[in-house]
Amino acid sequence: MTGDRRVWHKSWPEPARRALFGVFLALILAASRVYARDGVDLVGRRVNLPEVPQRVVTLAPSLTEMVFALGAGPRVVGVSRYSNYPEATRDLPRVGSYVQPDVEKIVALNPDLCLVVKDGNPREVVDKLEQVGIPVYAVNPKNLDQVMETLIALGEVLQARDAAKALVADMKRRLHAVDERVRRVPQRPGVFFQIGVSPIVSVGTETFAHELITRAGGRNLAEGPEPYPRFTVEEVMALRPDIIVISSMERDQTFERVRQQWLRWPNIPAVALNRVVLVASDLFDRSGPRLVEGLERLVTILHPELD
Amino acid sequence: MAVSNRLETPMGIVTPARLVAVTLMCAAGLLGAIVFGMAVGSSGTDFTAVFRSLQGKKALEATQWTILWRLRWPRVLMAMETGAALALGGLVFQALLRNPLAEPYILGTSGGAAVGAILGILMGLSPFPGVGAAAFASSALSLALVVLLASGRAGLRREALLLSGVMVNAFCGALILFFVSTTQDARLHTILFWLMGDLSRADMAVVWRLGAVLAVCAVILFAMARPMNVMLMGRDVAKSLGVSVTWMRLFLLGVTTVMVSAAVCATGLLGFVGLAVPHGLRLLFGPDHRVLVPACFLGGGAYLIGCDALARWIPQHGEMPAGVVTALIGAPLFIVLLRRATR
């Protein structure tokens, strides 16, 4: 039988044999693609995703937090340098920083999916990863709503849909609770949100911190088109902030010193009222699920009268 | 023996055999550097893997193969091309300006190219020829400025040339910082890339483009090696031997500037390569340009591959820009040469 068949196709002319071979090849390729999915990421790039990503590399702390929050932490094999949350990330290999990822280290980890942020991770790195055949899925959340959309999308990508739905439902519930509380506040205090020490840097309208301040019932005194505007001490005095929030990367000693410096200027209302506070910056500048936690903390700071 | 004298000795005869011998020696050095550059990296250093990978794809794990041939190989090639371009650039500048300390970075030619490239990128020109042409124009302009500033009645004054170069260089550095820090343009990569020279963005498309430019320029320079020897003997000698000094100078400076600005577009500012390599090779092989042009081409490539490999090897985590290594080696060398030249 098999012998027959061999003779039968040997008798075919060469072009037909080639065509047959081509058909076989196409079939084999098609079969291999069953294990992958074609998708479009959140910045509109086409990505060929693995069916269930098993070896994920995240190139930003926010992405690390999102993947872990979706319960896919065990599938993360490499993270960016400053990914410090949750605790389980501590021993994971580092693949360079957010702005300077180390392509060689990423490739060496043999990932089947790399998650990147459009604003921050360099374009060339993404191109190079794709060249060597690693699927790259990019996200670009700009506000709380988009963070939740991103979580749902990542739930799709990582086959963790239920976890994503539950997580987003919880975030929505907490956001709603905050909105309800803030609706009853009598006045909206002016907030100076400080993210840089020397020079003094604050946050403009296009930032997560701005959204959180506004939603927590405050006015961002540094609002405007410039995302990270610089200030001098006299400019801050002129703004007369009711509250100064110093956002720190857990470098408490430095920021305690900054707080002491503000305390020299009692003509600033925030200082006179002893309302210069420190917060953990990770809760305000990382586009992850913990932004809600930052928001809740900010409500407590701005409106202690609600508690 | 002072460097300046070394530059001005009349030339002997170069036999083809000597040329072949020198070329082979430099090629061996280049090969060694390539192996080193391929073996070293942030994911681990493995010399045997380089040799095993020559047996074909099956000899290595897929991941390791990718790292070696898709990531490190383009980088090694780009380092080789850039090193060759900068070393040749230094060699030609030293001959034409009759100054042992002339070098594209020190004279502000590289800085000028970087400013032009950044402006080209901000104006939205295509990488080739647009940005390349902008880099060339701006680097030719800064070179012309330096030469004009340094021209006195008695030709180019050595200290004046260096001083104006340093000033133009500082000004270009300030401009680069200004553009990169005020325009949040993702296409500008990082400040580090433009100020310290960085090869981590090596890409095959760039390798081909730069290679084509370099090949043409290197052939021209090799053909002009004899006139370059004559130029070193001074204007009058050159004239009596029938070399049209002014045009020759302009033409050679033009070719060199093309080469240097192409290298700068690809890798940012790498200092002192054009100083370390030609001087090292002069000590080894003597001052004849018919030998030095091919030697600098191969040796410059080897030198920068080595510097970049060190930049990847030394830090515990990640890597540093290759320009850090070239400056750590080159700047002290510059001081030594300066002392010898002024003594």
B119: domain CATH number is 1.10.3470.10
**Residue B72 near residue B42, CB atoms below 8 Å:** no
For A127, which residue in chain B has the nearest alpha carbon? B203
Query: pLDDT exceeding 70 applies to what percent of chain A?
Result: 87
**Residue B272 near residue B331, CB atoms below 8 Å:** yes
More confident residue, A35 or A293: A293
Q: Is residue B50 part of a domain?
A: no
Rounded Cα distance between B298 and B291, Å, is 11
pLDDT of residue A36: 66
The DSSP 8-state label assigned to residue A290 in this structure reads: T
- pLDDT tier at A8 (50, 70, 90 boundaries)? very low
Residues contacting residue A164 through CB under 8 Å, at least 6 positions apart: A70, A151, A152, A154, A155, A156
- Show the domain range for B330: 60-342
CB distance A104–B190 less than 8 Å? no
Single-letter residue type at B15 = T
pLDDT of residue B81: 97
* Residue ranges, CATH 3.40.50.1980, chain A: 36-167, 185-302
What token pair was written down for B76? 């090694």
Interface test with A, best of B68, B200, B207 (most A CBs within 10 A): B200
Interface test with A, best of B40, B60, B71, B75 (most A CBs within 10 A): B71
More confident residue, B147 or A198: B147
pLDDT of residue A9: 45
| H/E segment holding residue B323 | helix B322-342
- pLDDT tier at A193 (50, 70, 90 boundaries)? very high
CB distance A128–B203 less than 8 Å? yes
Q: For the residues of A20-89, what is the DSSP string, one character each?
A: HHHHHHHHHHHHHHTTEEEEE-TTS-EEEEESS--SEEESSHHHHHHHHHTT-GGGEEEE-TT---SGGG
pLDDT of residue B103: 93
Count of beta carbons in the 10 Å neighbourhood of residue A283 = 22
pLDDT of residue B203: 87
Q: Is residue B47 part of a domain?
A: no
The DSSP 8-state label assigned to residue B307 in this structure reads: H
**Mean pLDDT confidence for A62-83:** 96
Q: Is the pLDDT of residue A59 over 90?
A: yes
CB distance A107–B319 less than 8 Å? no
Residue stretches of chain B with pLDDT short of 50 = 1-10
Q: Is residue B306 part of a domain?
A: yes
pLDDT of residue A21: 58
Residues listed for chain A: 307
- Cβ-Cβ contacts under 8 Å, A230 against chain B: none
Give residue A46's region: left, alpha or beta (phi > 0; psi -120 to 50).
beta
Q: Is the pLDDT of residue A277 over 50?
A: yes
Preceding omega of B129 cis (within 30 degrees of 0): yes
- What mean pLDDT, rounded, does chain A reach? 87
pLDDT of residue A1: 40
- pLDDT tier at A48 (50, 70, 90 boundaries)? very high
CB distance A104–B201 less than 8 Å? no
pLDDT of residue B9: 41
- pLDDT tier at A116 (50, 70, 90 boundaries)? very high
CB distance A132–B66 less than 8 Å? yes
Of A97, A105, A127, the CB nearest to B43: A105
**Residue A95 near residue A83, CB atoms below 8 Å:** no
Considering only CA atoms, which of B1, B2, B4, B7 is closest in space to residue B286?
B7
Considering only CA atoms, which of A241, A208, A198 is closest in space to residue A222?
A241
**Mean pLDDT confidence for A191-198:** 89
Single-letter residue type at B171 = F
Q: Is residue B78 part of a domain?
A: yes
Q: Is the pLDDT of residue A32 over 50?
A: no
Q: Is residue B142 part of a domain?
A: yes
**Mean pLDDT confidence for A151-159:** 96
Angle between helices B289-313 and B204-223 (to 10 degrees): 160
Among A8-12, A146-150, B287-291, the least confident range: A8-12
Single-letter residue type at B187 = R
Rounded Cα distance between A115 and A83, Å, is 13
Give the class (CATH, top level) of A185-302.
alpha beta
**Mean pLDDT confidence for A117-128:** 89
**Mean pLDDT confidence for A271-282:** 92
What token pair was written down for B309? 């490999």
Does the pTM surpass 0.85? The reply is no
pLDDT tens column, A253-267:
777 888 888 998 898
Residues listed for chain B: 343
Q: How many contacts (CB atoms, under 8 Å) link A and B?
A: 47
How many domains does chain B contain in total?
1
| Min distance B308 CA to chain A CA atoms (Å) | 15
Q: Is residue B241 part of a domain?
A: yes
Q: Is residue B264 part of a domain?
A: yes
**Mean pLDDT confidence for A242-261:** 81
Rounded Cα distance between A131 and B70, Å, is 8
Q: Which CATH superfamily is domain A36-167 in?
A: Nitrogenase molybdenum iron protein domain (3.40.50.1980)
**Mean pLDDT confidence for A275-287:** 92
For B192, which residue in chain A has the nearest alpha carbon? A100
The strand pairing partners of A76, in sequence order, are A56
Three-class secondary structure of residue B343 per DSSP = coil
Of B71, B189, B190, the CB nearest to A104: B71
Cα torsion B119, B168, B109, B307: sign: negative
Q: Is residue B96 part of a domain?
A: yes
